Structure 1
Amino acid sequence: MVLKARVGSGTGIEVLITAAAVADADWRGVFTHGETALSSVRTAGGTGLVKDVGRFGRFGWINLVGPLTQQRADWSHQSLLAMVGELAPEELRAVLVGARRHQLRRRLDEEVVRRALAGERSAVRRFLATLGDTLLQVDPWLLRTPAVTLQQLCLDTLAAIRPASDRAPDATLARRRLKDVGAARLLEEVAPGVHYGPQVLDDVVLVTSPQVAPILVVVDEVDRTVILHPPLGDEGATDAGAQLRDLGRAVGDATRLRLLQELRTGPRTLVDLTTALDSPRTTLLHHLALLRSAGLIEIAVVDGEPNVYTLRVDGFERLAQAARGFSLS
């Protein structure tokens, strides 16, 4: 199967990433601009707006990236507001709680999802229990709140958040690379250390955003995958001091060191790692994302199977080279 890809960016995407960072302190600490996002939301609406953003959770905001990028028009802030306003309230709820996500739908049939969204208690319990087997998170508030109320609060919250710039991030280089080298090679360039198995990807949307640096954010919808990635080639200075700084951040944490030590014994799934470290999945995920972005681990993604994490030996060689090349004189 030939991989199809689109490339883009937009101020609406930037607003959603800002909201996701504000809603989740762990991921705010991962994003290079996470604290800037929090400051901008506080300036725009104080603690009340910060609280409203948090109600939807990180996944609620990120899930809106899916329907926004389905539009062929620009993915601007105004387009985002128009999309949220035009969706039927119950359809918006379905998007917010991840009903379009592949991780959920491969475990839960459409009828149970429909009944859960309608508020049937047994279906809601099953829906939430199934979420526990995925990497997704949903605040039960999203299922309890009347859909019309949910839609209005979502609109008001998004309208209050201002994008950092009136212009979309520059995706010119990614578009050029797509034309020059094709979709498969471009995917390797924007997502180094992530290896997709057969039938995992056939339709992918690559979205350039400096706000997600230094990691990737992946939205796995049933019929396509959206990958939010830092600007292509935007890895900062290449001198030894900068390399040592960036790699040092990745290993300069006790939990990340424990993860690396566990992976020394061989490939591991997230379940393996949570058991070995006695830590929640949500805690480990942002640590793993940083290790992957630093080139110290790699991830194999196979449809229907847990992701497998493996040490990347050449990443440690780069760390050693950066240390040797750093001069104190």
Structure 2
Amino acid sequence: MSIRVRLGAGTGVELLMAAAAVADPDWRAVFHHGPTSYDAVVAAGGRGLARDMTRFGRYGWINLAGPLTAQRGAWSTDALRGWVDAAEPDEVVRVLTGARRRQLRSRLDDTTIAAAVAGGDRAARTRWRHTLDDTLLQVAPWLLATPPETVRATLLDVIDRLPAPARATPLPRIRERLAEVGPEALLAEVAPGVTYRTGVLDDVVLVTSPAVSPILVVVDEVDRTVILHPPLADGAPDDAGARLRELGRAVGDDTRIRLLHTLRLRPSTLPQLCDELASPRTTLLHHLALLRSAGLVSIEVIDGEANVYRLRPEGFEAMARAATAFPYS
């Protein structure tokens, strides 16, 4: 497997991930900085600003990481606003609704997507909605019911009202690791438990962002994959207590225990897990993300097909080691 890997970070990325946490209460609970991000937004613009952010949905904010990280230069808040301001309104809606995503583009052609975004072709919009239902992508209803000009103007207004994010994370550590181990090993290091079948990854952008800790956020565009990941560890010895707290959080939920029991029987796709547990995908996705971040579940990404989830034996072995190493006397 030959992979081209590029590295980056930026305040624009931090703003987007904070916005995603504010827009979705489930993911606000997943991200370590989610509650802090929500409090900062309410302090800056009241609950009205937080409500305005939910119009775009978690995926809407996350999808904007695609065009932001495609730009040359710093991925700053100003660069994000500049892209939104310069883009055609229809293009802004296409990005927000996932039209750059591999999952959608593999099922819909450009003509259908353009007709659906424009809003005049009811058949195209119906096909678009049905196709979205068949993918992991989620689109906020407001985006589908609002004229593109209004969507872009509202997005610019919200960006202008958001509190300034913290400065971007420095990159020397991950640059050193890329030089030391190469792209394939670095990818395994920042995304443990995630495997990609041949043809899925060619061009990868690894974006360091504390705002996504403890999970990964992946934007799988047609021509490249953007993986937002927490900063690499500094190489200090593992803290057994901290590791136990992380594992305890992962397994300390009835739904996540049911997921582990189900995956113990057989590897499964998300639709299969939804059927088995009678739970919506919006509920299971953030639970699966926490289990993967804890090392208890792995994900196999297959081009054009549903991801496959399975138990990760190494994670349970690590849990046993952490429990043994914990100083209880």
Q: Give the TM interval when normalised to the shorter protein.
A: over 0.9
Q: Using the alignment, how far apart are the partners of 2:76 and 2:140 within structure 1?
A: 27
Matches of 1:140 and 1:153, distance apart in 2: 15
Alignment of 1:262-281 (within 5 A): 262-281=262-281
Deviations, residues 126-148 of structure 1 (Å, cap 9, x unaligned): 11111001111112321221222
Indicate the residue corresponding to 1:2 in structure 2. 2
Structure 1 vs Structure 2 CA RMSD:
1.4
Q: Deviations over 1:297-325 (max 9, x none)?
A: 11111112211111111211111122222
1:163 Cα offset (Å): 3.1
Cα distance, 1:224 vs. partner?
0.5
Partner Cα separation in structure 2 for residue 93 and residue 164 of structure 1: 24
What is aligned with 1:49?
A: 49
Which residue number corresponds to residue 85 of structure 1? 85
Q: Counterpart in 2 of 1:159? A: 160
Cα distance, 1:179 vs. partner?
2.3
- Equivalent position SS for 2:207: strand
1:82-113 deviation line (CA, Å, top 9, x unaligned): 11101111111111111111111111122111
- 1:242-281 superposed matches below 5 A: 242-281=242-281
Give the counterpart letter for 1:203 in structure 2.
Answer: D
Structure 1 pair 188/55, CA: closer, same or farther in 2 (3 Å)?
same
- Counterpart for residue 305 of structure 1: 305
Contact persistence 1:17–1:61 (CA under 8 A):
yes
Aligned mates of 2:118, 2:141 — CA distance in 1: 13
The one-letter amino acid of 2:261's match is Q
Query: When the two structures are superposed, what TM-score results if normalisation uses the length of structure 1?
Result: 0.97
Residue 237 and residue 291 in structure 1: after superposition, are their counterparts in 2 closer, same or farther (change >3 A)?
A: farther
Of all paired residues, the percent bearing the same amino acid is: 59
* Amino acid in structure 2 at the alignment position of 1:5: V
What TM-score results when the alignment is normalised by the length of structure 2?
0.97
Q: Distance in 2 between matches of 1:236 and 1:41?
A: 34
Distance in 2 separating the partners of 1:319 and 1:269: 25
Contact 1:12 1:163 (C-alpha < 8 Å) held by counterparts: no
The answer as to whether partners of 1:267 and 1:311 remain within 8 angstroms in 2 is yes
For residue 66 of structure 1, report the CA deviation from its aligned partner: 0.3
Matched, 1:39 2:49: no
Deviation for aligned residue 1:239: 2.5
Q: Which residue of 2 aligns with 1:126?
A: 127
Matches within 5 A, 1:218-257: 218-233=218-233, 238-257=238-257
Stretches of structure 2 that go unaligned for 5 or more consecutive residues are none
| Structure 1 residue 109 corresponds to structure 2 residue 109 | yes
> Is the 1:14–1:163 contact (alpha carbons within 8 Å) kept by the matching residues of 2?
no
TM superposition shift of 1:234:
6.0
Provide structure 1 residue ranges, at least 5 long, that are not aligned to the other structure. Answer: none
Closer, same or farther: CA 218–174 of 1 in aligned 2, 3 Å: same
* 1:65-214 equivalent positions in 2, closer than 5 A: 65-119=65-119, 120-165=121-166, 167-214=167-214
- Cα displacement string for residues 44-85 of structure 1 (whole angstroms, at most 9, x for unaligned residues): 100110011010000111111000000111000111111110
Structure 1's 235 and 124: CA in aligned 2 closer, same or farther, altered over 3 A?
A: farther
Q: Indicate the SS of the match to 2:215.
A: coil
Q: Which moved more, 1:285-294 or 1:239-248?
A: 239-248
AA in 2 matched with 1:225: T
AA of the residue aligned to 1:22: V
SS in 2 for 1:264: helix
> Does the CA-based 8 Å contact 1:200-1:301 persist in structure 2?
yes
- The 5 A counterparts of 1:16-27 are 16-27=16-27
Residue type at the aligned position of 1:127: W
Residue identity opposite 1:185 in structure 2: A
* Alpha-carbon separation, structure 2, partners of 1:205 and 1:288: 23
Partner residue, 1:28: 28
Asked if structure 2 preserves the Cα contact closer than 8 Å seen for 1:15 and 1:77, the reply is: yes
Identify if the C-alpha distance between structure 1 residues 234 and 142 changes in structure 2 by more than 3 Å, giving closer, same or farther.
farther
Query: How far does the alpha carbon of each residue in 1:194-250 deviate from its partner, in whole angstroms, 9 at most, with x for none?
Result: 000100000010000011000000001111100000001169972222211111110
CA distance in 2, matches of 1:223, 1:42: 37
Shift in CA distance, 211/234, structure 1 to aligned 2, threshold 3 Å = farther
